[in-house]
Amino acid sequence: MAVGILALVGLSGCSGQWARFGLPEPASEQAPHIGNLWVGFWIAALVVGALVWGLIGWAVIRYRNKGDEHAAPRQTKYHLPLEILYTLVPFLIIGVLFLYTVRAADAVLDQSQEPDVTVDVIGQKWSWTFSYHGADDPAIGVDAHNVGTLEKIPDLYLPVNQRVRFNLESADVIHSFWVPAFYFKMDVIPGHPNSFDVTPNKVGVFDGKCAELCGEMHAAMIFKVHVVEEAEYEAYVKQLAADGNEGLKVMPQTTKHVLPESNSKEG
């Protein structure tokens, strides 16, 4: 226990990635929900670990073999209160962790507010397609899309401090849309559209990845997230449209059309 508390004091005293137990700097309004959960789990695990290691160490030293047979500890069997304690305490710990997990999940999956910006994401072997709903925004007035390829890693532009809704669809296999700095990823499943909201709150360029081992070129499914001021975002979408990428890229309603013919026929 003492070791755990000491570790906590040490950690709270130092800043940066160590204090976040390895997480990158958070870049969205929703990220702290997951960040706090992650740090809380580590602290709970360290406290339990310190207690167990402490008891093991104490027993090893206290009851080490001194060549005296009578030095062995008292042997306890069928001690009902102790066994009930062993059973209840882990359930209590799991219950508390579960409660905080559900709360964090509810917070990051909340879509009760209307988004400021909507971006459709299609995961396709082996890149991403981003479609910006700009037509209903008077400052933009046009929809535009950006298709990534193996040769050209796609850019994703997002306005800072605006609620962004991502609609995720897959053209082929299961991918996973992941921006580590947002502490969030969601599976991109063929025939099963997914959606989540995020509010980037830090201007900068962040890495995006596919977090599902989707096939041979999985590692190539990376993208760059540019969180920019609103005016720059509007200018980007307008420019995309002007460069011949007007409109939204939409998926056919059923993935049966997407799979190659040979896959749907009896082989």
Interface positions with Cu ion (CB under 5 A): 175, 210, 214, 221
Task: Write down the residue that tokens 């796609």 correspond to.
Answer: 154
In the complex, minimum distance from the CB of residue 213 to Cu ion, in angstroms, rounded to a whole number: 8
Side chain identity, residue 152: K
The tally of CA atoms less than 13 A away on the side-chain side of residue 197 is: 17
Kindly tell me which of 50 and 210 has the beta carbon lying closer to Cu ion.
Answer: 210
Kindly tell me which of 144 and 211 has the beta carbon lying closer to Cu ion.
Answer: 211
Inter-residue contact 40 to 209 (CB < 8 Å): no
In the complex, minimum distance from the CB of residue 179 to Cu ion, in angstroms, rounded to a whole number: 14
Kindly tell me which of 84 and 219 has the beta carbon lying closer to Cu ion.
Answer: 219
Interacting residues of 187 by C-beta distance below 8 A, sequence separation 6+: 168, 174, 175, 176, 177, 194, 212
Inter-residue contact 176 to 186 (CB < 8 Å): yes
Kindly tell me which of 27 and 214 has the beta carbon lying closer to Cu ion.
Answer: 214
Measuring CA to CA, which residue among 66, 163, 71 is closest to residue 112?
A: 163
Kindly tell me which of 37 and 221 has the beta carbon lying closer to Cu ion.
Answer: 221
Question: How open is the CA angle 28-136-122, to the nearest 5 degrees?
Answer: 55
